[in-house]
Structure 1
Amino acid sequence: MRSPPLSSPIPAQVRGAPGLAWFNTAPAAAAEAALLECCGSRRWAHRVAAHRPYPDLEALLAASDEAGYDLSQADLAEALADEASADLHHGAPPAAHLALRAAHAAYEATFGYAFVICLDGIPAAEHPAQVLAGIRGRLGHEKDEERSVAADELRRLARGRLRAMLGADLTFCGPDTPAR
């Protein structure tokens, strides 16, 4: 399982790759392996890799979004199963760790998968409050509604992870955010 704080979105054999040029020319298996670090759906990774080369980051992000919108329920379940709930920094107060663990447990018991949320552009100090508020707000959703929200968050996460993988600016992960 991948933990949300992205420590290294690129497999060891790919680190140091020169961004989009590398991605466009990498062997399909290497490109797909790198893409699986961005979204855990094999169908999504295959589809995004199959449409290379991309003229620029925006074209890649658009293809990522399109592939994300086309995920079947099984593909989405596969991607969600690859996610893991975020933990707090070890220096956070014990009460915060307990609250977050309890909230994650309630969410996972209700929906059957880890809570996913894109926090790009949110200061790290605000992440715990954003995650707790997100979980609390989304626990009231019906299962189908929450699956749709989780799919949107996965698409946003994939955009941010793609930017990180290619060495692009990772300021925001929304679909309307221009690459820098």
Structure 2
Amino acid sequence: MSRDLPAPPLPTGSPAIPAQNAGPSPLTGLAPPTGLAPLTGLTGLTRFNAAAAGTAEAILLGCCGSRRWAERVAAHRPYPTLDALLAAADEASYDLPVADLEEALSSESSTAPHPDAPQAAHTALRAAHAAYESSFGHAFVISLDGVRPDERLDRVLAGIRSRLGNEPDEERATSADELRRLVRSRLRARLTLATPAQASGMR
């Protein structure tokens, strides 16, 4: 069943939405991880492997809001490589029951346009998010890896409009796939930092 979503046209060249895979992501409202600073001299994956269970789970929850998922991934440390961790994160995501997936999706928040975007962009995105959340009960989730910054806003709007026609089960599966890609990007960003000072301030 399809739904028509009216939205004002966007001015050409409007500013992009913020990047989703670094800093505090606009798709998450979760607090940044803490507790890594005492592991002085270690970076990235080594610090993650050496962290206390609660700290490791907090880092993971900053990437995906399912507690079951975070506990499972943290419990299988140490990981020999970042790719091994990403593979484990994927596997744990595939096995999530519906309730845990819904918990993860409920922790996501709607993407906002860049503060300098014109009012038309704010209006269009706000209307699109409202229509999506009314239909599916959670924020719209999309990975923007490989999308140019100046194309991200249009990609989000096009994605919402096309996915509004999905049945609930179909959209849940699509959201799970997009969330999985986002989680990989968030993990990679948090665990490939060059210095202890950067790692202790991971967002």
Which residue in 1 is equivalent to 2:198? none
Which residue in 2 is equivalent to 1:173? none
Which residue in 2 is equivalent to 1:171? none
RMSD: 2.0
Name the % identity: 61
Please report how far the alpha carbon of residue 5 of structure 1 lies from its aligned counterpart in structure 2 after TM superposition: 5.9
Go from structure 1 to structure 2 and tell me whether the alpha carbon gap of 1:43 and 1:142 turns closer, same or farther (over 3 Å shift).
same
Which residue in 2 is equivalent to 1:123? 148
Which residue in 1 is equivalent to 2:44? 19
Please report how far the alpha carbon of residue 11 of structure 1 lies from its aligned counterpart in structure 2 after TM superposition: 1.6
| Secondary structure of 1:24 counterpart | helix
Q: Describe the superposition over 1:25-70 as per-residue Cα deviations: whole angstroms up to 9, x where unpaired.
A: 1110000000000000000000000010111011101000000000
Q: Describe the superposition over 1:94-130 as per-residue Cα deviations: whole angstroms up to 9, x where unpaired.
A: 0011000000000000000000000022111111000
CA distance in 1, matches of 2:85, 2:69: 12
Structure 1: give runs of 5+ residues left out of the alignment: 169-180
CA distance in 2, matches of 1:60, 1:5: 17
Go from structure 1 to structure 2 and tell me whether the alpha carbon gap of 1:85 and 1:63 turns closer, same or farther (over 3 Å shift).
same
CA distance in 1, matches of 2:166, 2:107: 22
CA distance in 2, matches of 1:94, 1:8: 23
CA distance in 2, matches of 1:51, 1:68: 14
| Secondary structure of 1:52 counterpart | coil
The answer to whether the 8 Å contact 1:11/1:33 transfers is yes
Which residue in 2 is equivalent to 1:81? 106
TM-score of the superposition, structure 2-length normalised? 0.78
Q: Describe the superposition over 1:147-175 as per-residue Cα deviations: whole angstroms up to 9, x where unpaired.
A: 0000001110110000011026xxxxxxx
Which residue in 2 is equivalent to 1:55? 80
Equivalent position to 2:158, from 133, 137, 140 = 133
Which residue in 1 is equivalent to 2:125? 100
Q: What amino acid does structure 2 have at the position aligned with 1:131? A: V
Equivalent pairs, count: 167
CA distance in 1, matches of 2:138, 2:81: 33
TM-score of the superposition, structure 1-length normalised? 0.87
Q: What amino acid does structure 2 have at the position aligned with 1:43? A: R
Q: Which has the higher contact order (CA 8 A, sep 6+)?
A: 2
Structure 2: give runs of 5+ residues left out of the alignment: 1-18, 26-31, 194-203
Which residue in 2 is equivalent to 1:175? none
> Which 10-residue stretch deviates more, 107-116 or 123-132?
123-132
Equivalent position to 1:143, from 168, 171, 194 = 168
Bigger Rg, which one: 2
Structure 2 residue 185 is the aligned partner of structure 1 residue 160: yes
The answer to whether the 8 Å contact 1:88/1:128 transfers is yes
| Secondary structure of 1:23 counterpart | helix
